[in-house]
Amino acid sequence: MDPSDAVSALVGSKLKIALLGLLVVGGAVGGAFALGILGVPSVAAVDNTFGNVTNETTEIETDLVVSNPNPVGVGLDGVSVNYTVSMNDIEMAQGGREGVRVGTGNSTLALETQLRNDGIPPWWVSHVRNGERTTLDIDATATSDRLGRGVDFSRSREIETDLLGAFNSDETRPVNADSPLASDPVLYVNETRGEWGSVSESETPIDMAFTVYNPNFEPYAVTEIGYDITMNGVEMGSGQTEEGYVIPSESTETIEFTTALQNRHLDDWWVTHLDEDVRGHQVTGLRIEFYAVIEFPSGEEVTVPLDSLTYEETIETDIFGEGEDVRDGSDSSDDGSDSGDDGDETDDTSDGGDETDDGDGSTENDTDDGSGDGTENETDDGDDDDGVLPL
């Protein structure tokens, strides 16, 4: 045999053996997946933070942690991931990526989606209708195109606010006219009450009641009460009553009227709520100012700023529980050894009907401390896991 023919035959044989070996390995890996010997990649955690905010959109930055339980990362090119962020079942953002290749262990994918700010008013309506409560749901799925199977991941977080709680007060406050026509105080407000009215898509009414006492020997008439509402300086609504009230001498009268936030301004407020330079990240200052037009027995009228009734409330939120940020700037592996969960969050993982895994069961209670400052108090029932679930 010619030496060159021998060499060619030898090389050809080695190539065939190598190719056969690759086919065998590929078939073994594929068969192992099909038989369930190797696991299906899944979503281990979804961590969101707010990014850049414009007048039209809000950027949501997402770290989606994909867990590959297999000792190799071969053949995982056909993995796709998708996630949805909803608030009170209203879809706020949706994103994903196709053809993801992941290594062994945990890999973090950095994704960005845009939330349209005109979606804030519908969410606000649902928040008020639900007693100032919002359920934030994050649902994600990792799907293996090779197997045609997916593993679902879900996380829920409760968000509560209390914008009007501190307005309900039995504190007696004098009303001074600063007018030569009468001696101050001309009236006393002994009680204030406020509650949300029947919210619509266009406005959020606040039903208010003032219990007013007239200490004078003659009746006084309150012909008009006006109001101005701002949130972080954004004008949310203004108006005045359409009817007057007579406060008999040395008697008490309850004045009832309705103010309203105009929902069309909520997307403008939202931008300020996320702007750290205004009051801090996710902080809002609510302010309601009142004035009254009082008619004295002489028939003279005077407009009196009701400074003592000005209502101010600070509202703080932590919508995504950003203290649990797992962002590290690059894909990384994590053994998931940390346990616990910081947030009123419920984690449920399932493989589309084959298996179910109910997270670690830890919860957080977001409650108001009763101080009337509208601030969430988060009680942690476990250790901080940096947002990554135990695998």
Contact indicator for 65, 140 with CB cutoff of 8 Å: no
Task: Give the DSSP H/E element, type plus range, for residue 141.
Answer: strand 133-144
Q: What is the pLDDT of residue 293?
A: 96
Residue 276, pLDDT above cutoff 70? yes
Cis preceding-peptide flag for 185 (omega within 30 of 0): yes
Residue 145, pLDDT above cutoff 60? yes
Residue-wise pLDDT for 218-257, tens only, equals: 999 999 999 999 999 999 999 999 889 999 999 999 999 9
Residue 101, pLDDT above cutoff 90? no
Backbone angles phi, psi at 334, to 5 degrees: -145, 130
Q: What is the pLDDT of residue 17?
A: 52
Q: How far apart are CA 357 and CA 346, in angstroms?
A: 12
Q: Which DSSP string do the residues of 231-260 spell out, in sequence order?
A: ETTEEEEEEE-SS-EEE-TTEEEEEEEEEE
The better pLDDT of the pair 336, 275 is held by 275
Q: What is the pLDDT of residue 350?
A: 47
The better pLDDT of the pair 321, 79 is held by 321
The better pLDDT of the pair 382, 82 is held by 82
Residue 138, pLDDT above cutoff 90? yes
| Residues sharing a CB contact under 8 Å with residue 372, sequence separation 6 or more, in sequence order | 162, 165, 166, 313
Contact indicator for 90, 39 with CB cutoff of 8 Å: no
Residue 361, pLDDT above cutoff 70? no
Residue-wise pLDDT for 18-58, tens only, equals: 444 444 444 444 444 444 445 777 888 889 999 999 999 99
Q: Which two tokens mark 311?
A: 């209502």
Q: Interior CA angle at 272 toward 313 and 322, to 5°?
A: 85
Q: What is the pLDDT of residue 268?
A: 96
Residue 323, pLDDT above cutoff 80? no
Residue-wise pLDDT for 365-376, tens only, equals: 443 444 444 444
Report residue 72's pLDDT band, with 50, 70 and 90 as the boundaries: low
The better pLDDT of the pair 304, 101 is held by 304
- Mean pLDDT within 341-348: 45
Report residue 266's pLDDT band, with 50, 70 and 90 as the boundaries: very high
Q: What is the pLDDT of residue 147?
A: 63
- Mean pLDDT within 61-76: 73
Share of the chain above pLDDT 90, in %: 53
Indicate whether this model's pTM tops 0.85. no
Q: How far apart are CA 185 and CA 8, in angstroms?
A: 111
Residue 141, pLDDT above cutoff 70? yes
Q: Which two tokens mark 1?
A: 């045999």
Share of the chain above pLDDT 70, in %: 70
- Mean pLDDT within 340-358: 43
Closest CA to 118 of 272, 238, 270, 235: 270
